[in-house]
Amino acid sequence: MKRRIFLKGSLAAGTLAVAAGAGMLTPKSVLAAAWPKAAFDSKTEVEALQAFFGTSDVEQSDKISIKAPLQAENGAVVPVKVMTSLAGVEGIAICAIKNPRPYTTSLRVTDGGGGLYSTRIKMGQTSPVNCYVKAGGKLYMASQEIKVTVGGCGG
Amino acid sequence: MASTKMKIKKSKSGGYEVMVLAKHPMETGNRKDKKTGEKIPEHFIENMEFAVNGEMVAQANLGTGVSKNPLIGVGIPNAKPGDTVTVSWVDNRGESDSAEKVVK
């Protein structure tokens, strides 16, 4: 049994090393940051927020609007659109709380960017979807519950 | 295999909106091959970069939680007609693709 655990551990370490190697080899522009692996690997939302935004102090805001279906027939494709009228947007993140890995996707914005991000996400089950916007050094959020009839997280 | 399509449209809130459709399997690593019973390894887009006239305006970080053939939309409020918008992505295996279009 212990041997099995050891093997699993070494395998995981191996894939990590490969991923890191690949990241270093790919050409990237100077402004671009690396893929936030820690945030994507987090099992909880707070950890992910800490990893990506560097803070988990969140304030509810009505300046963020989420355009998403109330009920999604297919959990594999759930369109989510986040729009915000907040000034000085630095980043937008979308978390489907009950997914195995809640941190779904995010957007880093530089000065010329805007407060709009739309994507299609996978959802394992009915869950609130939290959208976070970092603007002017502060973190804001809005949430909407999406009902899922058929899950779409592998399996 | 790789193909990336891009569309630029006027946004209601002003400026433009770029929609990108990248053809990609976005494997989560949880799915199993029905024939062999083996797990299909993770394969997903990590970063997608949006640039206007060569200057990066936004970088989307995608993960396994994003649907297959991701459709990503990003606002570029400061773009003007004639500007060139470039989109490029890199996945966790180092594969990449890009697309370019001029704002009308």
- At A153 the three-state DSSP class reads coil
Q: What is the pLDDT of residues A46-84, one digit of tens each?
A: 888 888 888 878 888 888 989 999 888 888 889 999 988
Question: pTM for the whole thing?
Answer: 0.76
CA neighbor of B89 nearest in space, from B44, B52, B54, B53: B44
- In chain B, what are the domains? 4-102 (2.60.40.10)
**Would you call B65 and A119 a contact, using CB atoms and an 8 Å cutoff?**
no
pLDDT tens series, chain B, 104 aa: 458 888 888 877 778 888 999 988 888 888 887 888 888 888 989 899 998 888 888 889 898 889 889 999 998 888 888 899 999 999 888 888 989 999 88
- At A46 the three-state DSSP class reads helix
Tokens coding A66 = 């989420």
Q: What is the ipTM of this complex?
A: 0.82
Is residue B53 less than 8 Å (CB to CB) from chain A? no
What is the sign of the dihedral through the CA atoms of A32, A34, A35 and A36?
negative
Place of tokens 């989420």: A66
Q: How far from chain centre, in Å, is Cα B57? A: 14
**Would you call A32 and B78 a contact, using CB atoms and an 8 Å cutoff?**
no
* CA pair distance B80, B103, nearest whole angstrom: 7
* CA pair distance B92, A35, nearest whole angstrom: 10
* CA pair distance B28, B74, nearest whole angstrom: 24
- In chain A, what are the domains? 33-150 (2.60.40.2470)
Is residue B52 less than 8 Å (CB to CB) from chain A? yes
